[in-house]
Structure 1
Amino acid sequence: MTLFLSPSLAPLGAPVDIGRDQAQQEAARELLKSGYQHESLFDRIGRVIQQFLDDLLGIGGNASGSAISLILIVVILVILGALLVWALRRTSRGSRTGVVVFGGQARTAAEHRAEAERRASAGDWTGAVQERLRAIARGLEERAIVSPLPGRTALELAQTAGQALPSHASDLRSAARLFDDVTYGEVAGTPEAYAVLKDLDERLMAARVALEASA
Structure 2
Amino acid sequence: MAVSDVPVDLGRDEAREAAARELSDPAYVSDDPSLIERAFNWVLKQLDEVFAGVAGMSGITATTILVVLAVIIVIVIRLRVGRTIRAASRSGDVFDVVLTAAEHRAAAERAAAAGELAEAVRERFRAVVRELEQRGVLDPRAGRTVDEVAFEAGQALPALADDLRGAAVQFDDVWYGGLPATTQGYQRLVSVDDRVRA
Cα deviation for residue 186 of structure 1 reads 1.4
Q: Distance in 2 between matches of 1:162 and 1:149?
A: 17
Matches within 5 A, 1:72-151: 104=95, 105-151=97-143
Q: Distance in 2 between matches of 1:110 and 1:130?
A: 14
Kindly tell me the number of residue pairs found equivalent between the two proteins. 104
Query: What code does the residue aligned with 1:147 have?
Result: D
Cα deviation for residue 171 of structure 1 reads 0.7
Q: Distance in 2 between matches of 1:108 and 1:128?
A: 16
The percent of aligned pairs where both chains have the same amino acid is 51
Q: 1:188 aligned to 2:180?
A: yes
**Cα distance per residue 1:18-72 (max 9 Å; x no partner):** xxxxxxxxxxxxxxxxxxxxxxxxxxxxxxxxxxxxxxxxxxxxxxxxxxxxxxx
Cα deviation for residue 181 of structure 1 reads 1.2
Cα deviation for residue 185 of structure 1 reads 4.9
Matches within 5 A, 1:41-80: none
Correspondent of 2:166 among 161, 164, 174 = 174
Query: What code does the residue aligned with 1:121 have?
Result: A
Q: Distance in 1 between matches of 2:119 and 2:177?
A: 11
Q: 1:152 aligned to 2:152?
A: no
**Cα distance per residue 1:129-170 (max 9 Å; x no partner):** 110000000000001011111100000000000001001101
Q: Distance in 2 between matches of 1:164 and 1:119?
A: 30
Secondary structure of the residue aligned to 1:145 is coil
Please tell me the root mean square deviation across aligned C-alpha atoms, in Å: 1.3
Q: Distance in 2 between matches of 1:126 and 1:150?
A: 21
Q: Distance in 1 between matches of 2:156 and 2:177?
A: 30
**Cα distance per residue 1:91-129 (max 9 Å; x no partner):** xxxxxxxxxxxx933211010000000000001111001
Give me the TM-score of the superposition, normalised by structure 1. Answer: 0.47
Give me the TM-score of the superposition, normalised by structure 2. Answer: 0.51
What are the ranges of 5 or more consecutive residues in structure 1 without an aligned counterpart? 1-102, 207-215
Greater per-residue helix proportion: 2
Q: Could you say which residue in structure 2 is the equivalent of 1:49?
A: none
Cα deviation for residue 194 of structure 1 reads 0.4
Q: Distance in 2 between matches of 1:154 and 1:190?
A: 19
Query: What code does the residue aligned with 1:127 have?
Result: E
Secondary structure of the residue aligned to 2:137 is coil
Q: 1:161 aligned to 2:153?
A: yes
